[in-house]
Structure 1
Amino acid sequence: MTVEQITLLGLRDTPLSIDEVVSAVQDDHAGGTAFFVGTVRDHDHGRQVTDLSYSAHPTAEAQMRRVMEKVVADTSRDGRPVWRVAALHRVGDLRVGDIAVVVAAAAAHREEAFAACRRLIDDIKAEVPIWKHQTFTDGDAEWVGAC
């Protein structure tokens, strides 16, 4: 794997651009591009959400890179490589409807692009130390993803 396969990664406290992420994975070798956009919804587990904030550990970007490298290695098979991957995640205060995360993958074929994109979002959520704090209309609050 070359460093150029990870074309964009980061944590930002400003609005995310779907176009920026998708453009970052464009490659003439790619026959398929897949992307995922995660947005802030107005509820969680049947409760109305009023406020939401994301926090990240100082190592989060380095861990995101490690996750991305592993996804590229694991989803490139039988001479059908994943050519490019990109991921951005918001931190700070967000409102309902805001984009919280965008990931994209471009591969030789759609099967690898879909597989890489799915793994990217699943592994970032599972392995990168980014925590969500949400407040509900009844005044209760909870941390999601924090140990």
Structure 2
Amino acid sequence: MDIKITVQAQDFDPGAEIKWLERDTSEDGALVTFIGKVRDHNQGEQVAHLYLEHYAGMAERSLQQIAEQAKQRWQIGKIRIIHRVGELHVDDNIVFVGVTSAHRQDAFYASQMIMDYLKTEAPFWKKEQTAAGSRWVTANQNDQNEAQKW
């Protein structure tokens, strides 16, 4: 298995995920990872915590399709994607993307494309709790622009 997708409420251990990516990949000289975390602010407001919802089953299929697109475009060894759901607090991990490849450029491009598509294509919804109350986070035009580059 060279693509591993998980949507989960519990936190993840980046070190353990890197070990999985490194297992049986001696032909790959590059390993790129990205970890997204909960910030304490967004759109000019302090964020106390957020709640992530997803469309179960469809979210996993969407992430799988995104990973497969990356493997079709670049010479990729393994891909690991984790996306958390439920209530998350400032500094909590939200997402992990890891990609191995023989060469760094493919791993960098693939991990960036995966994140850009994840932000715009995968069925996840984010509700932030701020001092002014709770609000659903709407799609960001910058994320759309980045995804269109691919």
Q: TM-score range by the shorter chain?
A: 0.7 to 0.9
Distance across 2 between alignment mates of 1:124 and 1:141: 21
Distance across 1 between alignment mates of 2:129 and 2:138: 11
The answer for the alignment partner of 2:61 in structure 1 is 62
Alignment match of 2:76 (pick from 63, 79, 82): 82
Q: What root-mean-square deviation, in Å, do the aligned CA atoms of Structure 1 and Structure 2 show?
A: 1.2
Distance across 2 between alignment mates of 1:20 and 1:68: 20
Distance across 1 between alignment mates of 2:45 and 2:67: 33
Please state if 1:51 is matched with 2:36.
no
Q: Secondary structure at the match of 1:33?
A: strand
Q: Which runs of 5+ in 1 are unaligned?
A: none
The answer for the alignment partner of 2:19 in structure 1 is 23
The answer for the alignment partner of 2:148 in structure 1 is none
Percent identity, aligned pairs only? 27
Report the TM-score, using the length of structure 2 for normalisation.
0.86
Displacement of 1:45 in angstroms is 1.2
Report the TM-score, using the length of structure 1 for normalisation.
0.87
Q: Which has the higher helix share?
A: 2
Distance across 2 between alignment mates of 1:110 and 1:53: 34
Q: Which moved more, 1:44-53 or 1:131-140?
A: 131-140
CA contact (8 A) 1:36 1:104 kept: yes
Q: Secondary structure at the match of 2:53?
A: strand
The amino acid of 2:16's aligned partner reads E
The answer for the alignment partner of 1:5 in structure 2 is 2
Displacement of 1:141 in angstroms is 1.9
Alignment match of 2:109 (pick from 108, 115, 121): 115
Distance across 1 between alignment mates of 2:18 and 2:120: 23
Alignment match of 2:37 (pick from 29, 39, 43): 39
Distance across 1 between alignment mates of 2:80 and 2:134: 35
Q: Output one character per residue of 1:102-123: Cα deviation in whole Å (capped at 9) or x when no partner.
A: 0010000011111111111111
Distance across 1 between alignment mates of 2:13 and 2:68: 22
Displacement of 1:140 in angstroms is 4.3
Task: State the number of aligned residues.
Answer: 136
Distance across 2 between alignment mates of 1:128 and 1:86: 15
Displacement of 1:144 in angstroms is 3.6
Alignment match of 2:100 (pick from 106, 119, 126): 106
